[in-house]
Amino acid sequence: MPDASTLTLFALASLALLIVPGPAVLYIVTRSIDQGRTAGIVSTLGIHVGTLVHIAAAALGLSALVVSSALAFNTIKYLGAAYLIWLGVRKIMGRDEDGGEPEVRTQRLSRIFYQGILVNILNPKTALFFLAFLPQFVDVSKGHVGLQILFLGVFFMLIGMCSDGLYAVVAAGAGNWLRGNARFVRFQRYFSGGIFVTLGLAAALSGSRAATD
């Protein structure tokens, strides 16, 4: 386990990275605006179950393999991008029911949860975060490197759940007002779908190996 000063520095650095909106945050915000606080919290839980997969991969050294292999890196990057674009197009192509006052089509919470998992598993930036950032706080001289990565990864995930949960609550509050706005409701699917398509295109075109949540 890292000493108190190292853990404090890691917590502050993690928080600084987490509060900057990235694909995971925008997914949570979109779900929160669409369906409210519960959907936002469920999407947060899904995102961080996906984080657990990356933590396990980093602890086992698989993240290093992904980064060292251009084919593996690009495969994950484009799969993640394609999935986000598919979500966006599906949202945009949705039709208002009954031809009258448009309604927000709700997704089952289980579906939102599993989508959150996939969004983060297929997000190469998350894997790259654990490779580029987290190892800086691992003390090789203490041994048990895998356990150190596991501890720091779970600690990072808990901080992320708090910050992302706050995003979900705030976005859900804004969503309550936005859903009462007839114009916003009418174009809501374009707003939400556009976010997903933009995220997908950004992921596909990104050449950066810097990682944020």
Per-residue pLDDT tens for 192-206? 677 767 767 766 775
Contact at 8 Å (CB) between 136 and 9? no
Residue 129 CA to its chain's centroid (Å): 12
Write down the pLDDT at residue 130: 77
Banded pLDDT at 94 (limits 50, 70, 90): low
Q: For the chain, what is the mean pLDDT?
A: 76
Q: What is the pTM of this model?
A: 0.68
Distances (CA, A) of 148 to 3, 21, 80: 11, 27, 28
Banded pLDDT at 42 (limits 50, 70, 90): very high
Banded pLDDT at 103 (limits 50, 70, 90): very low
> Which has the minimum average pLDDT: 95-104, 107-116, 161-170?
95-104
Which among 213, 210, 118, 113 is positioned nearest to 158, based on CA atoms?
213
Percent of the chain with pLDDT strictly greater than 70? 69
Give the contacts of 41 (CB within 8 A, at least 6 positions apart): 165, 168, 169
Give domain limits for the chain. 4-205
| DSSP one-letter code for 137 | G
Residue 115 has pLDDT above 70, yes or no: yes
Percent of the chain with pLDDT strictly greater than 90? 16
Per-residue pLDDT tens for 118-164? 888 877 667 767 776 777 777 767 777 778 888 999 999 999 999 99
